[in-house]
Amino acid sequence: MPPAVLPPHPASPPSRRTVLRGLGAGSLALGGAGLLGACSSRDAQDTGAKSPEAGFTITDQRGKKISFDGPVTRIATAIIPSPSMLAAVDGGYDRIVGINESTLTANRQGVFGTLFPASKTTTTIAGADFVPNVETIMKLAPDVVLQWGDMGDEVIAPLESAGLKVIGLTYGTQEMMETWITIFGTLLGKSERATALLDRMHDEDTKVRALVDPYRKAAAPKVLYLKAASDGYTTATGSDYMTHWTELAGGVNVAHDIAADSPQVSTEQILSWDPDVILLSAFDDKAPADLFGDKALSPVRAVRDRRVYKVPLGGYRWDPPCCESPLMWRWTAQILHPEIASRNGLRAQIKDTFDLLYGYGISAAETDEVLRLDLNSKSAGYDGFRA
């Protein structure tokens, strides 16, 4: 049985280019606002699947069927966010033998490397362009390779030509992320666990919306998401996942109506938007102090009121869709509505989530690191995230 679902929340799907730029090193945040709880695409993934011990078949997001004779024990993935999600569904990291170099960077920077020390030395099989190193992958002898299913032959054909089994995935919306969880549940022989994770995610959606519902009658806070680029900043538009969690938390994305993918943002444009809140991507090193010290941005309301915040880095970066996304929803809700701090319970949710996803008892100090208390220490209201 598929998990109980919530009514869908309409939004525009992302373009593939938007998502890929968000995943690549030195590029913008991922995603696209999706249809939370829309389960039609998830339902198809387990169709005809048997227990992993007896052999099973998965239909990937290209619509291609991939059959396995028995349990999958070695997984290589060129896709950046998938290792943390595989580990969450599996409850461990032991089956992952190859990852993207950007994932390796995140593992070494964040708490994931503490959760799973092997993740800091895992062999890299692709870079920011996702082109696989087939020779390296063949040496790893994986049972399956996870790769983008809609980037064209350049990234997937060399793998299949080498005789490797490849699951092609697409990404960017809540619905697609939930599809991944279901596919991974089948792949790992953990379908019941995957369903439980989705049920919990839907329950969290309901609870976060209830927390912020009393504030929806007032003008929604204007939110700007910024990702550092070589010539300034890029932002997230209405088709990005950032819009999903911003709106869920009761805010509005000031760049919602821009049509371009990963658009460049000038100082003049930021001044024109005059956002109430600025959120800085977890994909780069920009910190609130950088904006507070920028005289050109000093007239901006978010800068003037010190409402600039660095996005947390947990088992994975919280900007894009992942199994920790409900934590991002709660974090954003408290950023936009600091008065809910006493009722939000984010730190307790982090502890429960890390225990559930990774079997890890996260400490108070590690929770501080996840929440970037050091980088956000001068930002307004951030004391509300302390223990």
pLDDT at position 317 = 93
What percentage of the chain has pLDDT greater than the value 90?
80
pLDDT at position 179 = 96
pLDDT (tens digit per residue) in 106-155: 999 889 999 999 999 999 999 989 999 999 999 999 999 999 998 888 99
Domain ranges of the chain: 41-171, 201-385
Residue 57, burial from CB neighbour count under 10 angstroms (0-12, 13-18, 19+): middle
Q: Where are the beta strands (DSSP E) in 172-245?
A: 222-229, 232-235
Does 23 score more than 50 pLDDT?
A: no
pLDDT at position 250 = 97
The CATH number of 41-171 is 3.40.50.1980
What confidence category does residue 52 fall into, taking pLDDT thresholds of 50, 70 and 90? low
What percentage of the chain has pLDDT greater than the value 70?
86
> Rounded distance, CA 281 to CA 24, Å?
13
The CATH number of 201-385 is 3.40.50.1980
Residue 269, burial from CB neighbour count under 10 angstroms (0-12, 13-18, 19+): middle
Does 379 score more than 90 pLDDT?
A: yes
Contact 385, 334 (CB under 8 A): yes
Is 201-385 in the same CATH topology as 41-171? Answer: yes
pLDDT (tens digit per residue) in 266-311: 999 999 999 999 999 999 999 999 999 999 999 999 999 999 999 9
Q: Look up residue 39 and give its two tokens.
A: 């389960």
The average pLDDT across 354-360 equals 95
What confidence category does residue 245 fall into, taking pLDDT thresholds of 50, 70 and 90? very high
> Rounded distance, CA 225 to CA 157, Å?
35
Q: Quote the DSSP letter at residue 356.
A: H
Does 67 score more than 70 pLDDT?
A: yes
pLDDT at position 301 = 98
pLDDT at position 260 = 78
Does 224 score more than 80 pLDDT?
A: yes
What confidence category does residue 217 fall into, taking pLDDT thresholds of 50, 70 and 90? confident
DSSP codes, 245-284: HHHHTT-EETTTT--SSS-EE-HHHHHHH--SEEEE-TTS
